[in-house]
Amino acid sequence: MKLTVNKDFLNESIQHVAKAISSRTTLPILSGIKLDASFSGLTLTASDTDISIQSFIPMEQEGKEIIRLTQKGSVVLPAKFFMEMIRKLPSDHIEIEVSQQFQTVIRAGSSEIQMVGLDPEEYPLLPEIEEDKTVTVASDLLKTMIRQTAFAVSATEATPVLTGVQWILNNDTLKLIGCDRHRLAQRHTPMEADENAQFSNVVISGRTLNELSKILPDGNTLVDMVVSDNQVLFRMERILFYSRILEGTYPDTSKLIPKSFQTQMVVRTRELMDAIDRAYLLSREERSNIVRMAMIDHETIEVSSSSTELGKVTETLVVSGLEGELLKISFNSKYMLDALKVVDSDKVRIGFTGSMSPIIIQPEDGTPILQLILPYRTTN
Amino acid sequence: MKLTVNKDFLNESIQHVAKAISSRTTLPILSGIKLDASFSGLTLTASDTDISIQSFIPMEQEGKEIIRLTQKGSVVLPAKFFMEMIRKLPSDHIEIEVSQQFQTVIRAGSSEIQMVGLDPEEYPLLPEIEEDKTVTVASDLLKTMIRQTAFAVSATEATPVLTGVQWILNNDTLKLIGCDRHRLAQRHTPMEADENAQFSNVVISGRTLNELSKILPDGNTLVDMVVSDNQVLFRMERILFYSRILEGTYPDTSKLIPKSFQTQMVVRTRELMDAIDRAYLLSREERSNIVRMAMIDHETIEVSSSSTELGKVTETLVVSGLEGELLKISFNSKYMLDALKVVDSDKVRIGFTGSMSPIIIQPEDGTPILQLILPYRTTN
C-alpha cells in the first residue's frame, strides 16, 4: 500500500472512526485503525465489537484530488498514536507507505514517522446486515430525538436492557423511549413505514447513541437506519455506523403514563429551570437533590429546598392555567432539570395525579415529547 | 448589617477572594467569606492562612450607586454556597440582611435564601505589614514574569523552598527565578530601588503566584509589592493579596548558568516546538519523554524519538548561525516544550557546553529571559 492523502480528509475520517476505539479492549488488534486503500478510495475502520465505524475517503471531490494512489493494500495502525500524529503533522499532504511486515512510513513536510503496523487479515469482519428493514430519517431530527431520550437511560448495568433506548416503528410513527426506575423520556415523530419494515424491540445503548450523535451531520441530510436481528446500521453519506442491539425485552412503559390529570399548569421553562437550579445548589449539599414544589394559589407556586447546616432557598413563580387541586410534591431536582433542558419550548405544561404519582412534563408548543418523573416520597 | 448591592460587583469580588478558599481547611470558619459593610463600602475577605485576599466594593462608581447601605455590620457566609448562589440569582440588585445569631437572608427578584452565617469575631486577623520595602510594577509585566518562571518550580514538597519562585530586587533589577532539580527559568526587568527597599530571599509559592496571576488586572495598571519579614502583599486598586514567604534559603543558582558556550544556534521557536511535540507523542508512550537532538551539519538538525513497540519519529529542521562543535544531546521533551512556550519570541538562541552540560534557551529578541534544562544522560 502506498498513497498520498489530503490531511484534512484523513483527519476527519480518523476522528469519526476513533469513536469506536475503546481504551480497554481485550483484542489487541482492536486498539488499531484499519486502512484499506483501493482504486475507489481509502476506507478506515475501527471497532470495539459493540460499535463498529467505517469511514470512506473518495479519490477526488468536486474535481479536486484528495488521494493519489500508487499501490493498493491494507494495514492496521495503532489508533491513538496515528490519530494524534496525523493531527499534528505540518503538511497538507500525507504520504503513507506500507512495506515488509506491515512496517509503515508516514511522511509529511520534514517529518518522517515509522510505525509498527499489524496484519489486516487478523482484523475482525464487520457484521453483515440484510436490507429488509430500513427507515430513513433527517440527521437533525435523529440527533434531536436522541438528545431528548438517551439522557434518561439507566446508568447502571443491573438491568442491561434499561441502559438502552427503545426504538419502535409502527405504520405511522417512529418512537424513542429511554427510562430508568425513576424517570422516562419519550419522543415520537410521524413516519410512514410498510408492514415489513416495522419493528418494536430494537434497543440501542444510550452511550452508543451519544457517540452516533457526535458523528451525525448537521442539517437535514438523510440517514438510513437498517435493522437486522441483532445489529443496526446507521448509513450516512461516507460513514457506516454499526451497533449491537441490546438483548432482553424492553418493559411495556405505556402503562406508566397517566391518561388524565388531577392538576395541570403551564409555566415558563427558563424561569422554572433557574428556580430549581438555585434550590438544587442547596439540596446537592444534602446529597439528596430533593426539591419541594407547593402550589400556593391558582397563580403562584413555590419551589424550595432546605438544609439544616446551610439554610433554605425559597423561589416564588407565577404560573398560568393552573387547573385542579392545589398540590405539594417533592422530586429529584436533577431529574427535573434534565427533563426541562431537552423540552426546547418556552413554556411547558406539567400534569400531576397526586403527590405520590408520576409528574408529566410536555412542551406547550405541541412537539410530541413526554417526560415523566416519579415524585420523591416525603413525610411533610 | 443590611444593604443592597449590585450583582456584578458582588460577583466579581467573590470570584477574586474565592481563590484563597481551600477545600481542605482545618479551621471551619475559613471555609467562609467574611463580609464587612461600612459607610465607605463592602469588604470581602477570604483566607487559607497561606494566602489571604481582600476585595473592596465602593458605595458608588462614576456617580452610579453600587451599594445602598441601611445598616453596617459583618458576617461570615459559607463560601461555596454563597458564591454559586450569587452567580445564579435572577436580579441585578441583591439584598443582604443579617439578623439574630448571624442568620442571613438574601433576596433577589422572587428568590429568598436563608443562610446560616458565622460570627465574624472568630475570623482570623489579616497579617500586619510594615511599609518599609515597596516596589511598584506594571500588572502586565508582573503577569508575564510569573508565567515565565512559576512553571519551573518543583512540584514535590521534598525541598519546600524549591516549590517557590525567588524574587530579588537590587539597585537596578527585579529578578524572578524558578527551578527544580532538572531545569531553571529566570526573568529580570530593569527596576530602580533605593538601598532600603532591596531584598533577595523572598520566595513565594508557585501555586500562590498562579492564583495571583488570575487576579492581576490586564493592562499596565500599577501594582505595589510590599515585602515584610515573612509576608508579602500585592496591592491592586481594590484588592489586597497577602502571601506567606516560604521559609528556608533559596540555593545560589547563578553558578549553574554557563558563561560561555561550546556550540550555539538560532532556530524558529514554532518549528522547533512542533517538531518536539511530535517526537513527544512517541516518547510519552515510553513514559520517558526523552527526545534526541543531533546536529547533522551547520545548517541542519534532527529531532527524534523512538519506541520499540510503536516505531520512530524523525524531524529535520533548518537552523541558522550554528557555531562550534556538532553535538548530539538528549533531553526531556516536556521541559523543552515548557521553556519554549514562555519565550514569546519568533526565534530562540540555544547554547550548549557539551552533551552532559546544561542547555540554555534565550529569546533572540533580547528580552532578558533565560531557560536552562539539564540534558538526559544516554549511552548513545
| A342-369 per-position pLDDT tens digit | 999 999 999 999 999 999 999 999 999 9
* Residue from B23, B75, B76, B81 whose CB has the most chain A CBs within 10 Å, to mutate: B81
Question: A116 at the B interface (CB within 8 A)?
Answer: yes
Question: B311 at the A interface (CB within 8 A)?
Answer: yes
Rounded-to-integer distance, Cα B186 and Cα B159, Å = 19
Q: Are residue A22 and residue A100 in the same domain, yes or no?
A: yes
Separation in Å, CA of A112 to nearest CA in chain B: 5
Per-residue confidence (pLDDT) for residue B229, from 0 to 100 = 87
Report long-range pairs for B232-238 (Cβ below 8 Å, ≥24 apart).
B232/B129, B232/B202, B232/B204, B233/B127, B233/B129, B236/B139, B238/B55, B238/B56, B238/B57, B238/B58
Q: Are residue A357 and residue A289 in the same domain, yes or no?
A: yes
Q: Are residue B144 and residue B161 in the same domain, yes or no?
A: yes
User: If you measure CA to CA, which chain B residue comes closest to A112?
Assistant: B314
Last residue of a domain, one of A74, A89, A122: A122
Question: A275 at the B interface (CB within 8 A)?
Answer: yes
Element holding A270 (H helix, E strand):
helix A269-285
Is residue B277 included in any domain, yes or no? yes
- Choose among A320, A376, A334, A282: nearest CA to B112: A282
Q: Are residue A65 and residue A176 in the same domain, yes or no?
A: no
Q: Do B85 and A278 touch (CB under 8 A)?
A: yes
pLDDT in tens, chain B (380 residues): 999 999 999 999 999 999 999 888 789 999 999 999 999 999 999 999 899 999 999 999 999 999 999 999 999 999 999 999 999 998 999 999 999 999 999 999 999 999 999 999 999 999 888 877 899 999 999 999 999 999 999 998 889 999 999 999 998 999 999 999 999 999 999 998 888 889 998 999 999 999 999 999 999 999 999 999 899 999 999 999 999 999 999 999 999 999 999 999 999 999 999 999 999 999 887 778 999 999 999 999 999 999 888 899 999 999 999 999 999 999 999 999 999 999 999 999 999 999 999 999 999 999 999 999 999 986 54
Q: What is the 3-state secondary structure (H, E, C) of A140-202?
A: HHHHHHHHHHHHHCCCCCCCHHHHEEEEEECCCEEEEEEECCCEEEEEEEECCCCHHHCEEEE
Last residue of a domain, one of A254, A270, A287: A254
Per-residue confidence (pLDDT) for residue B379, from 0 to 100 = 54
Per-residue confidence (pLDDT) for residue B256, from 0 to 100 = 93
User: For residue A274, what is the domain's CATH number?
Assistant: 3.70.10.10
Domain span holding position B244? 133-253
Per-residue confidence (pLDDT) for residue A379, from 0 to 100 = 54
> Which of the 8 DSSP states describes residue B124?
P
Q: Do A88 and B113 touch (CB under 8 A)?
A: no
Q: Are residue A250 and residue A345 in the same domain, yes or no?
A: no
Last residue of a domain, one of A122, A154, A184: A122
Q: Are residue B166 and residue B243 in the same domain, yes or no?
A: yes
Q: Alpha helices of B61-218 — where are they, by DSSP H?
A: 79-88, 139-149, 206-215
Would you say A160 and A247 are in contact if contact means Cβ atoms under 8 Å apart?
yes
Mean pLDDT by 10 residues, chain A (380 residues): 98 97 87 97 96 97 96 97 95 96 96 96 91 91 98 92 96 95 96 88 96 94 94 96 96 93 97 96 85 96 92 96 96 96 96 95 96 83
Q: Do B90 and A115 touch (CB under 8 A)?
A: no
Question: B12 at the A interface (CB within 8 A)?
Answer: no
What is the length of chain B? 380
Is residue B35 included in any domain, yes or no? yes
Q: Are residue B269 and residue B218 in the same domain, yes or no?
A: no
Separation in Å, CA of A128 to nearest CA in chain B: 32
Closest in A90, A116, A316 to B110, CB measured: A316
Which residues have CB under 8 Å from A309's CB, separation 6+? A285, B116
Rounded-to-integer distance, Cα A288 and Cα B152, Å = 43
User: For residue B90, what is the domain's CATH number?
Assistant: 3.10.150.10
Is residue A160 included in any domain, yes or no? yes
Q: Are residue B9 and residue B118 in the same domain, yes or no?
A: yes
For B146, phi and psi rounded to 5 degrees? -65, -45
Per-residue confidence (pLDDT) for residue B26, from 0 to 100 = 81
Q: Do B313 and A113 touch (CB under 8 A)?
A: yes
Is residue B380 included in any domain, yes or no? no
When divided into structural domains, chain A yields a total of 3
The string over A33-53, giving b where at least 16 C-beta atoms fall within 10 Å of a residue's C-beta and e elsewhere, is: bbbbbeeebbbbbbbbeebbb
Question: B111 at the A interface (CB within 8 A)?
Answer: yes
Separation in Å, CA of A103 to nearest CA in chain B: 9
Q: Are residue B150 and residue B185 in the same domain, yes or no?
A: yes
Q: Do A309 and B116 touch (CB under 8 A)?
A: yes
User: If you measure CA to CA, which chain B residue comes closest to A274?
Assistant: B88
Q: Do A114 and B311 touch (CB under 8 A)?
A: yes
Rounded-to-integer distance, Cα B274 and Cα A324, Å = 68
Would you say B163 and B180 are in contact if contact means Cβ atoms under 8 Å apart?
no
Q: Are residue A240 and residue A183 in the same domain, yes or no?
A: yes
Q: Are residue B207 and residue B242 in the same domain, yes or no?
A: yes
- Radius of gyration of chain A measured on its C-alpha atoms: 25
Is residue A379 included in any domain, yes or no? no
Residues in A touching B312 (Cβ below 8 Å): 113-114
Rounded-to-integer distance, Cα B75 and Cα B271, Å = 55
Is residue A380 included in any domain, yes or no? no
Tally C-beta pairs within 8 A across A and B. 89
Is residue A128 included in any domain, yes or no? no
Q: Are residue A95 and residue A161 in the same domain, yes or no?
A: no
Separation in Å, CA of A87 to nearest CA in chain B: 10
Is residue B127 included in any domain, yes or no? no
**Angle A349-A350-A352 from CA coordinates, rounded to 5°:** 145
